[in-house]
Amino acid sequence: MFHPKANILLRLLQCRHALCSFGKASCSRLVLGIETSCDDTGAAVLAETGAILGESLHSQKEIHLRTGGIIPPVAQRLHRENIERVVQEALERSGVTPGQLSAVATTVKPGLALSLGVGLEFSQRFVRRHDKPFIPIHHMEAHALTVRMLQPVAFPFLVLLVSGGHSLLAVARGVDDFLLLGHALDEAPGDTLDKVARRLSLIKHPQCSTLNGGQAIELLAKDGDRMRFRFRTPMGQTPDCCFSFAGLRNHITMTIVKKEAEEGVEQGTLLTCVNDIAAATQHTVASHLAKRTHRAILFCKANGLLTSGSPTLVVSGGVASNQYIRKALAIITEATGLRLLCPPAKFCTDNGVMIAWNGVERLREGKGILPPSVDVCYEPKAPLGVDITAEVKAAAIRLPSVRMKIPN
């Protein structure tokens, strides 16, 4: 039982917290985050506490679904048409004026050059008009750190970032301190899932007309037999943590062509076995991600890279929303004694919140904060951290057998 004076102190602290929530601008530093790295225009205002005060997001998904993929000049035009409105909505919903902001954080790398340019150009005009510090953000760093906005996660931790444009494994040792263990050698898993979905013409499926490729694959796979088609897990004889999906996609495409010939249908017609192909595709992608992650965990343990009391694997990026892939990774973390953390799906895909949070983390530590007058260039291709992939490969870690029995 609390002492009466302790109860009074607790009530005072609760009142102060309530006042901070009510008087947002007076109790902590505030960061505006802006995201335009690909096909989503996002903005959010965050307090230093991690409280989301206001956000707005404009998705281009429906337009790109109709065109069969992201066309960079189209994405650029849509960002230009929407960025001012999206930022204004985030500010209005937060009740914060530009003058109350402590800094503006914006994605400047990596991503589509035309898309990055829109966000950077807008942000530099904004910070100069309102005389605010500018924090350039690495998109993958933001994905890696988002989980720390939601719950306490101490450095160092292992992070798997998987999306439509990226796949990598890294050890996060600090806000701007990463060791890169593995990366994509060709295409990213989200790109593979999208391309398979397009080749299967899943947009014509009555259940999938409004879904992106990865979502369509995941939905149809629930009713499919993943064992009907045996796609080989990529890079089985390469003892590193890098990823390759292009060969797998070619194998799947050849299988689709063969089934079209067997069923006597032309490309663009839904096959009777789409659920089974979707299930086999998803399972193979999940297995590849899980095996590379397993090796990364063993490498980290052998080299003392996960020294926190609760060794953790964080999984983020758009593909991390896939529940089947999460279950595959859960099997690996359970076998190796790691805690598995995944942000909610809405924070796995691109958004302004994660960019603002990265800004908060950098603002707290005084890292990468620029005066408004400094010119910044965007970088379509930008590695994350220090690349030690050669050391991982040289370790030649063999994986013990783990049974990947994943429920749909």
Find the CATH number of the domain harbouring 287: 3.30.420.40
Model confidence band, residue 320 (pLDDT cutoffs 50, 70, 90): very high
Q: Is the pLDDT of residue 19 over 60?
A: no
Compute the distance between CA of residue 297 and CA of residue 112 in angstroms, rounded to an integer. Answer: 31
pLDDT at 223 (0 to 100): 96
Q: Is the pLDDT of residue 228 over 80?
A: yes
Say if CB 243 and CB 189 are below 8 A apart.
yes
Q: Which of 249, 143, 230 is nearest to 187 (CA)?
A: 249
pLDDT at 10 (0 to 100): 35
Rg (CA), the chain: 23
Same domain, 171 and 104: no
pLDDT at 226 (0 to 100): 95
Task: State percent of the chain over pLDDT 90.
Answer: 82
Same domain, 167 and 280: yes
- Phi and psi at residue 158, in whole multiples of 5°? -90, 140
- Give CA separation, 59 vs 36, 78, 108, 204, in Å: 10, 9, 19, 21
Residue 15 lies in a domain: no
Compute the distance between CA of residue 204 and CA of residue 382 in angstroms, rounded to an integer. Answer: 36
Compute the distance between CA of residue 158 and CA of residue 181 in angstroms, rounded to an integer. Answer: 10
Same domain, 196 and 331: yes
State pTM to two decimals: 0.89
Same domain, 68 and 166: no
3-class secondary structure, 168: strand
Q: Is the pLDDT of residue 27 over 90?
A: no
Residue 7 lies in a domain: no
What is the arithmetic mean of pLDDT over 21-46? 82
Query: Taking all residues of the chain, what is their mean pLDDT, rounded to a whole number?
Result: 91
Residue 141 lies in a domain: yes
Same domain, 313 and 180: yes
Same domain, 59 and 205: no
Structural domains of the chain, count: 2
Range of the domain at 78: 28-146+349-377
Share in percent of the chain as helix, strand, coil (round to 5): 50, 15, 35
User: For residue 234, is the peptide bond before it cis, meaning its omega torsion is within 30 degrees of 0?
Assistant: no
What is the arithmetic mean of pLDDT over 93-122? 97
pLDDT at 37 (0 to 100): 94
Residue 10 lies in a domain: no
Residue 330 lies in a domain: yes
Compute the distance between CA of residue 397 and CA of residue 169 in angstroms, rounded to an integer. Answer: 16
3-class secondary structure, 370: strand
Number of H helices, E strands in the chain: 15, 11
